[in-house]
Structure 1
Amino acid sequence: MHRPKLELADIFRTHGPAWRQGNAGHVSLTQLKVMSAIEACRSEVLGGHVAGCAQCGHRHIAYNSCKNRHCPKCQGPAARDWMAARADDLLPVEYFHVVFTLPAEIAQIAYWNKKAVYDLLFRASAETVMTVAADPKRLGAKVGMTAVLHTWGSALTHHPHIHMIIPGGGLSPEGSRWIACRPGFFLPVRVLSRLFRRLFIEGLLALHYSGELMFFGDLAGLADAETFAAWLAPFRKSEWVTYAKPPFGGPEAVLAYLSRYTHRVAISNARLVSADAQAVAFRWKDYRIRQGDRQKVMRLSTDEFIRRFLIHVLPDGLHRIRHYGLLASAARKANIEKIRNLLGAIEPETAPQTAAEISLLTLREPCPCCGGPMRIIEIFRRGQKPQSRAPPWEQAA
Structure 2
Amino acid sequence: MNPINNYPQPANRQVEVADILRCHIGDYLKRYNMPPEHYRVVYDILNCRTAYLGGHVEMCDQCGAERILYNSCRNRHCPKCQTITKQRWLSARQAELLPVSYFHNVFTLPHELNPLILCNKPLMLGFLFQAASQTLLDFGKNPKNELGGQLGIIAILHTWTQTLMDHFHLHCLVPGGAIAGNGKEWISSKGEFLFPVKALSKVFRGKFISYLEDAYSKNQLCFPGNTRALGTRQGFRRLIKQLWSKNWVVYTKPPIERPEWVLDYLGRYTHRIAISNHRITDFSDGRVTFTIKNRKRKTTETVTLDAVEFIRRFLLHVLPKRFVRIRHYGFLANRGKKKNIGLCRLLMNLSPDIPEVRDQSVQAIMMAQAGIDILRCPSCKQGMMRKIYEIPEGSGNSSFHILRPVSVTDKDP
Structure 2 length-normalised TM: 0.84
Q: Distance in 2 between matches of 1:183 and 1:155?
A: 35
Amino acid at match of 2:140: A
Q: Distance in 2 between matches of 1:230 and 1:281?
A: 39
- After superposition, the Cα gap between the structure-2 partners of 1:59 and 1:214, relative to the gap in structure 1 and judged at 3 Å, is same
Percent of aligned positions that are identical: 38
- After superposition, the Cα gap between the structure-2 partners of 1:82 and 1:368, relative to the gap in structure 1 and judged at 3 Å, is farther
Q: Which residue of 1 aligns with 2:294?
A: 286
Q: Distance in 2 between matches of 1:353 and 1:163?
A: 26
- After superposition, the Cα gap between the structure-2 partners of 1:246 and 1:212, relative to the gap in structure 1 and judged at 3 Å, is same
Amino acid at match of 1:227: G
Q: Does 1:209 align with 2:217?
A: yes
The equivalent position to 1:172 in structure 2, one of 175, 180, 198, is: 180
Q: Which residue of 2 aligns with 1:69?
A: 76
Q: Which residue of 2 aligns with 1:132?
A: 139
Q: Secondary structure at the match of 2:143?
A: coil
The equivalent position to 1:78 in structure 2, one of 68, 72, 85, is: 85
Q: Does 1:184 align with 2:192?
A: yes
Q: Does 1:107 align with 2:118?
A: no
The equivalent position to 1:141 in structure 2, one of 149, 152, 156, is: 149
Q: CA deviation at 1:292?
A: 4.3
Q: CA deviation at 1:282?
A: 0.7
Q: Distance in 2 between matches of 1:117 and 1:80?
A: 29
Q: Which residue of 1 aligns with 2:232?
A: 224
Q: Output aligned runs, 1:307-346, within 5 Å.
A: 307-346=312-351
Q: Which residue of 1 aligns with 2:392?
A: 381
Corresponding pairs, count: 376
- Contact 2:51-2:391 at 8 Å conserved across structures: no
Q: Which residue of 1 aligns with 2:305?
A: 300
Q: Which residue of 2 aligns with 1:150?
A: 158
Q: CA deviation at 1:51?
A: 3.3
Amino acid at match of 1:48: G
Mind listing any 5+ residue stretches in structure 1 that lack a counterpart? 386-397
Q: Which residue of 1 aligns with 2:403?
A: none
Q: Does 1:7 align with 2:55?
A: no
Q: CA deviation at 1:273?
A: 1.1
- Contact 1:4-1:269 at 8 Å conserved across structures: no
Q: Distance in 2 between matches of 1:156 and 1:132?
A: 33
Mind listing any 5+ residue stretches in structure 2 that lack a counterpart? 1-8, 365-371, 397-413
- Deviating more after overlay: 149-158 vs 225-234: 225-234
- Contact 2:95-2:357 at 8 Å conserved across structures: no
The equivalent position to 1:259 in structure 2, one of 252, 258, 267, is: 267
Amino acid at match of 1:141: G
- Deviating more after overlay: 225-234 vs 114-123: 225-234
Q: Distance in 2 between matches of 1:132 and 1:28?
A: 39
- After superposition, the Cα gap between the structure-2 partners of 1:375 and 1:336, relative to the gap in structure 1 and judged at 3 Å, is farther
Q: CA deviation at 1:39?
A: 0.6
Can you list the C-alpha shifts for 1:199-248, whole angstroms capped at 9, x where unaligned? Answer: 00001111111112222455422212343123312322421100111111
Can you list the C-alpha shifts for 1:25-45, whole angstroms capped at 9, x where unaligned? Answer: x11111011111001001111
Q: Distance in 2 between matches of 1:342 and 1:31?
A: 47
Q: CA deviation at 1:372?
A: 6.8
- Contact 2:363-2:375 at 8 Å conserved across structures: no
- Deviating more after overlay: 275-284 vs 153-162: 275-284
- After superposition, the Cα gap between the structure-2 partners of 1:259 and 1:368, relative to the gap in structure 1 and judged at 3 Å, is farther
- Deviating more after overlay: 209-218 vs 323-332: 209-218
- The CA RMSD measured in Å over matched residues stands at 2.7
- Contact 1:58-1:367 at 8 Å conserved across structures: no
- After superposition, the Cα gap between the structure-2 partners of 1:322 and 1:14, relative to the gap in structure 1 and judged at 3 Å, is same
- After superposition, the Cα gap between the structure-2 partners of 1:366 and 1:100, relative to the gap in structure 1 and judged at 3 Å, is same
Q: Secondary structure at the match of 2:321?
A: coil
Amino acid at match of 1:382: E
Can you list the C-alpha shifts for 1:339-368, whole angstroms capped at 9, x where unaligned? Answer: 11111235565688999989xxxx983415
The equivalent position to 1:16 in structure 2, one of 2, 10, 25, is: 25
